[in-house]
Amino acid sequence: MGKVKEDRTPYQKKLRRFSWVIALIVGTIAAGIFAHGTLLGGTLGEMFMLAVAVAVAAIPEGLPVAATAILAVGMQRILAERGVVRHLASAETLGSTSVIATDKTLTLTEGRMEVTAIVPYAGHSEHDVLRVAAIANHAFMEKSNGKTHGSPTDIALMKAARNAGITREAARAGEEFVRTLPFDVRKRYLASVNRAETGELCAYVAGAPEALMEQALNVSAPAAHELHERLNELAGRGSRVIAVGTADAAEESRGITLSRFALVGLVALRDPVRPGAAEAIREAREAGVMTIMVTGDHARTARAVARETGIIESESAEVVTGEELDTLSDMELGRRLRDIRVYARVTPRHKLRIIEAWQAKNEVIAMTGDGVNDAPALKKADIGIAIGSGTDVAKETADLVLLGDRFSIIPAAIREGRIIIDNIRKVITYLVSGAFSEVVLVGMSLVLGLPIPVLAVQILWVNVVEDALPGIAFMFERGAVNVMRRHPEPKASPLLSRPMKRIIAIITIVSNAVLLLLFAALLRIGIYDIAHVRTFMFVALAVDSLMFVFACRDLEKNIWEYNPFGSLHLVVAVLLGFGLMAAAVYMPFLQTMLHTVPLDFFDWVVLAGFGVLNLALVEVVKALPRWQARFGKQ
């Protein structure tokens, strides 16, 4: 695990780059304002305070708070779907997921194994097969309540043996238990070692049929052919097939070694597919998310379950085993990657390679796992997903823990992840548009030789007080109807999408042009003193910001296509914003602090018209791409 690197999430990387770009732009503009203002006769102290205020305004410091709040709300919503996000940033990574690599057992199936067939071999009986299965079993029962603990396969084998009147204690009669050999991913079997009355060691083995049949001395070539046909028949029905047998054991310096294997029989177990698994896979597919199966089961078993759940749609679909994977170079695997939907008989090492192959394609991959050996793959994946009944190591390593062990939790978590990304983008658009407007307004006023339109303290009030509440209110947005009908964004997609750039540009350019015209007109008319004009400009910035928030609820649809007041939190935040703005203008102690004066009725009429005009311009910008597409086809 120590060799596996844990990278930043895609959005963390984008936000980091975005912050550097903003810092560079803001630093340059602030320095220019300070220098230009000083040359025009402004005092060093006044220009320094203005440059600092502009810099503070231009850097959307509310973004980290709002983004963190959005992530926290998203985590709570995922928890409501029975998923626990262990790392805050992982909640947004879920929204970028383009590939889900899932195990079969417990996520797609119920993990409720039942023995469906027993195939004795070489003169053995079903009783002999179940006796070996009972001894080579790592499940255990609590004497206090009779509850059985262990893997679904071990529990099913123990239950079948018990139903046949076989207990592990009775099966071991005359033998002393020595130790268990845990499942070895390379050898593909586990064993229980006993000492016979003669003092000799013997082992009872259970594992992959191919592994035991290959080593069993009592399996001839013709018999192996017949057993493989029977194995393929059972696996083709979606059954997991386990081989059981015996072996001689010997204690050596490096531990206990096994030899002289003898096959006793095969056991087929069936694990029903979870209700809703196929629907969840279809939902993921409609969202542009590919689901692949990565399992240690037999290829035919994996294929049958993959067909039943809709991962593959035909018998001719490609299934690659771990052995076949080892023969593929990285280039060959990369070329065939999108065509392979099922991997069978894989080890944790293979899982790690599959993850790296998808990441080399710049895809965001989620990987499920439940065992200690899955930890490196869970750590390497963009989203490591552990099932709730898995090992503590897997859950500690994972980014998402499925409390209900259901695959359907994953698409639900992806949906919430996409909503998180959408809401963060809404906040970015809202805050950056307002911040740039303030910077350009001050900068252009100085360039045109006009007085400073708003004071430093007024800029800070708009930025910190007026913009903060609506920005935070975006965390409660429930997401667009089509959030799971669009494809995930590539890793390389920019933080600012085209709609965001268009909206930010129109607010920055057109809105400031109108504001500058109003400012110049009010100064030229000469009816109002500079304090009144600055109060007007201060309120205009706030009105623009508070009206613009409704356009940000959906960056692609127009306001008449959705209910702009559909979010109660946003409406309350805007009303509070208007209330704070009125307080800043009419409350004496705030008037003193912010250098404002009361506005008259005519001022408010003009300000309301300005807010509506800006909102209309934003809606035109949002509609332009569709109008161009519509008229371009005619």
Distance CA 522, CA 511 (A): 17
Highest mean pLDDT: which range of 3-17, 320-334, 458-472, 497-511: 320-334
At residue 430, what is the residue type?
Y
Structure tokens, 435: 């911040």
The pLDDT of 443-468, averaged and rounded, is 81
One-letter amino acid of 578: F
Q: β-pairing, 189-195 with 201-207?
A: antiparallel
Using DSSP's 3-state secondary structure scheme, residue 83 falls into strand
Torsions phi, psi for 342 (to 5 deg) = -135, 130
Looking at the DSSP bridge assignments, the partners of residue 201 are: 195
How is domain 99-109+273-405 classified at the CATH fold level?
Rossmann fold (3.40.50)
Can you list the positions of beta strands (E) in 124-200?
140-141, 148-149, 176-184, 189-195
Whether pTM > 0.85 for this model: the answer is no
10-82+412-480+496-633: CATH number:
1.20.1110.10
Average pLDDT of the segment spanning 50-70:
72
CA distance 623 to 396: 47
* Residue 216, beta-bridge partner list: 261
Q: What is the pLDDT averaged over residues 335-343?
A: 95
Which entry of 103, 271, 297, 405 is annotated as an active-site residue?
103
Strand partners, 319: 342
The pLDDT score that the predictor gives to residue 367 is 96
Question: Residues spanned by CATH 3.40.1110.10 within the chain?
Answer: 114-270
The kind and range of the H/E element at 267 are strand 255-270
Q: DSSP label at 349? A: H
Contact between residue 368 and residue 103 where contact means Cβ atoms under 8 Å apart: yes
- pLDDT of 135: 94
Domain with CATH 1.20.1110.10 in the chain: 10-82+412-480+496-633
In order of 199, 211, 245, 431, the CA distances from 256 in angstroms are 15, 18, 17, 66
Dihedral angle computed from the Cα positions of residues 555, 559, 565 and 567, in that order, rounded to the nearest 10 degrees = -20
Q: Give residue 68's Cα distance to chain centre.
A: 15
Residues 6+ apart with CB under 8 A from 459: 53, 54, 56, 57, 438, 442
pLDDT per position as a tens digit, 74-103: 999 999 999 999 887 788 889 899 999 999
Q: What is the DSSP string of 419-464?
A: HHHHHHHHHHHHHHHHHHHHHHHHHHHHHTTPPPSS-HHHHHHIII
Share of the chain above pLDDT 70, in %: 94
Euclidean distance between CA atoms 50 and 317, whole angstroms: 66
Query: Which one of 49-63, 481-495, 525-539 scores highest in mean pLDDT?
Result: 525-539
| The two three-digit tokens of residue 402, written as one number | 């499925």
Residues 6+ apart with CB under 8 A from 438: 54, 57, 58, 454, 459, 462, 463, 541
Give the confidence band of 30 by pLDDT, cuts at 50, 70, 90: confident
The strand ranges marked E within 145-227 are: 148-149, 176-184, 189-195, 201-207
pLDDT computed for residue 2 by the predictor: 45
Task: Give the closest residue to 543 by CA, choosing from 516, 580, 509.
Answer: 580
Q: What is the mean pLDDT of the chain?
A: 87
Provide the pLDDT for residue 6: 46
Please compute, for residue 509, the number of CA atoms within 13 A of its CA located in the half-sphere on the CB side: 9
Nearest to 262 by CA among 273, 246, 243, 240: 246
CA distances from residue 594 to 321, 424, 464, 531, 538 in whole angstroms, order as listed: 71, 31, 13, 10, 10
442 versus 401: the higher-pLDDT residue is: 401
Question: Tell me: the pLDDT tens digits for 234-292?
Answer: 998 899 999 999 999 998 878 899 999 999 999 999 999 999 999 999 999 999 999 99
Q: Which two tokens stand for residue 601?
A: 């009725």
Split at pLDDT 50, 70, 90, the class of 460 is: confident
Of 187-196, 434-443, 570-579, the least confident: 434-443
Q: Does pLDDT of 57 surpass 70? A: no
- Residue 9 or residue 361, greater confidence: 361
Q: Give the pLDDT of residue 280.
A: 95
Please compute the mean of the pLDDT values over residues 183-210 and round it to a whole number: 92
For residues 548, 549, 552, 558, the Cα torsion angle rounded to the nearest 10 degrees is -60
Neighbouring residues of 265: CB distance < 8 A, sequence distance ≥ 6: 118, 119, 120, 121, 124, 126, 128, 129, 132, 243, 244
CA distance 104 to 114: 16
**What sign results for the dihedral spanned by CA atoms 377, 381, 387, 393?**
positive
Residue 3, pLDDT above cutoff 90: no
> What are the two backbone dihedrals, phi and then psi, of residue 79, each rounded to the nearest 5 degrees?
-60, -35
How far is it, in rounded angstroms, from Cα 519 to Cα 517? 5
124/472: higher pLDDT: 124
Where does the pLDDT of residue 1 fall: very low under 50, low under 70, confident under 90, or very high at 90 and above? very low
* Per-residue confidence band for 318, with pLDDT thresholds at 50, 70 and 90: confident
User: For residue 211, how many other CB atoms are within 10 A of its CB?
Assistant: 18
Which residue do the tokens 């071999």 mark?
Answer: 121
Query: How far, in Å, are 50, 59, 471 from residue 32 at the CA level?
Result: 11, 16, 29
Contacts of 384 (CB under 8 A, 6+ apart): 366, 367, 369, 377, 378, 397, 398, 399, 400
CB under 8 A, 24+ apart: contacts of 572-576: 572/473, 573/469, 573/470, 573/472, 573/473, 573/549, 574/469, 574/470, 574/546, 574/549, 574/550, 576/469
Sorted by sequence, the CB contacts under 8 Å of residue 165 that are 6+ apart come out as: none
Task: Look at residue 5 in the predicted model and tell me its pLDDT.
Answer: 43
The top-scoring range by mean pLDDT among 315-324, 409-418, 500-509 is 409-418
**448 — phi, psi (to 5°)?**
-85, 0
pLDDT at 455: 84
pLDDT for the residue 231? 94
Q: Is 529 annotated in the active site?
A: no
pLDDT tier at 314, thresholds 50, 70, 90 = confident
Q: State how far the Cα of 404 lies from the Cα of 83, in Å rounded to an integer.
A: 8
The Cα–Cα gap between 65 and 76 comes to 17
Q: Which CATH architecture has domain 114-270?
A: 3-Layer(aba) Sandwich (3.40)
**CA quadruple 553, 557, 559, 561: dihedral positive or negative?**
negative
- The b/e string for 228-264 (b: 16+ C-beta within 10 A; e otherwise) is eebbeebbeebbbbbbbbbbebeeeeeeeebeebbbb
Query: What pLDDT, in 10s, does the model give residues 147-186?
Result: 788 888 999 999 999 999 999 988 988 899 999 999 888 8
The pLDDT of 405-424, averaged and rounded, is: 91
pLDDT beyond 70 at 487: yes
Mean pLDDT (whole number) for 444-464:
82
